[in-house]
């Protein structure tokens, strides 16, 4: 069993922004989410949109001054709204979403963000900003539903696009990291439990994934 982690205390202004955005978008998010779930459940990988407490947790260490932010699998934009509430500029967001209906909705809701309709395992997509290194990344992708090969392609692609000291925050409904530690070790990555939200539906955990050594060293040692 994981230890109970003390929740991070938010600034009052951040708390108010998160609550206001959650209330405003909850119904529309749920409606679109359910329609997509019924038509393509494997793509969604969840039974309900992520809750406010999970959005708070997965974005809690994002520093707006550290650089642009990459979000994978934003879906209805629950985490995106939390990023904005924390002071990240909309124009500094790159949202990579595979589902057309989610991507179209994200473009309407976040008109100055870069929304890329692409496979997160192919981060060489032409619509992604070339040569840009991100300060951090968050992921709502259902890695547990993917093959280890696909999951590692995603992690390798993301971590190669992060600045020194940058991290990927990945949530999961599983009881452990969604990528086996033997694979993380092989590629020079490290995952630590960032926190858990038992009151989410279903309960969720967030892992912080970083590079332990430069990517070229990891590839050369394989």
172-180 average pLDDT score: 93
Residue 100 pLDDT > 60, yes or no? yes
Q: Which tokens in the block code for residue 142?
A: 């259902």
Residue 47 phi, psi dihedral angles, 5° rounding: -110, 0
Looking at residue 4, what is its pLDDT? 45
Distance (Å, whole) CA 117 – CA 95: 8
CATH topology of domain 12-118+131-220: Rossmann fold (3.40.50)
Residue 15 pLDDT > 90, yes or no? no
Residue 200 pLDDT > 70, yes or no? yes
Residue 195 pLDDT > 90, yes or no? yes
93-115 average pLDDT score: 96
Q: Kind and range of the H or E element at 195? A: strand 189-197
Residue 183 pLDDT > 70, yes or no? yes
Residue 62 pLDDT > 70, yes or no? yes
| 47 Cβ contact list (under 8 Å, min separation 6) | 37, 201, 202
For the chain, the structural domain boundaries read 12-118+131-220
Q: Kind and range of the H or E element at 97? A: strand 93-97
**Full-model pTM:** 0.78
Percent above pLDDT 70 for the chain: 73
135 and 116 in contact (C-beta within 8 Å)? no
Report residue 176's pLDDT band, with 50, 70 and 90 as the boundaries: very high
Distance (Å, whole) CA 188 – CA 7: 29
> C-alpha distances in angstroms, 61 versus 109, 166, 172?
24, 11, 17
Distance (Å, whole) CA 171 – CA 184: 16
Tens digit of each residue's pLDDT (9 = 90 or more) over 22-49: 555 545 555 554 444 445 555 444 444 5
């Amino acid at each position: 069993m994981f230890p109970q982690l003390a929740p991070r205390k938010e600034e009052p202004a951040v708390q108010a922004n998160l609550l206001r955005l959650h209330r405003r978008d909850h119904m529309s998010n749920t409606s679109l989410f359910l329609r997509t779930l019924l038509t393509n459940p494997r793509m969604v990988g969840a039974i309900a949109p992520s809750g406010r407490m999970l959005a708070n947790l997965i974005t809690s260490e994002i520093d707006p001054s550290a650089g642009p932010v990459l979000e994978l699998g934003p879906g209805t934009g629950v985490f995106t709204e939390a990023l904005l509430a924390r002071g990240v500029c909309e124009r500094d967001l790159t949202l990579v979403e595979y589902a057309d209906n989610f991507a179209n909705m994200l473009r309407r809701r976040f008109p100055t963000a870069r929304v890329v309709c692409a496979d997160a395992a192919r981060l060489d997509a032409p619509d992604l900003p070339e040569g840009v290194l991100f300060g951090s990344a968050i992921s709502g992708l259902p890695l547990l539903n993917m093959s280890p090969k696909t999951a590692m392609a995603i992690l390798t692609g993301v971590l190669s696009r992060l600045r020194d000291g940058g991290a990927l925050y990945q949530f999961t409904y599983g009881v452990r990291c969604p990528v086996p530690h033997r694979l993380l070790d092989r590629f020079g990555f490290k995952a630590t439990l960032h926190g858990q939200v038992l009151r989410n539906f279903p309960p969720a955990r967030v892992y912080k994934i970083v590079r332990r050594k430069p990517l070229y060293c990891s590839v050369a040692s394989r």
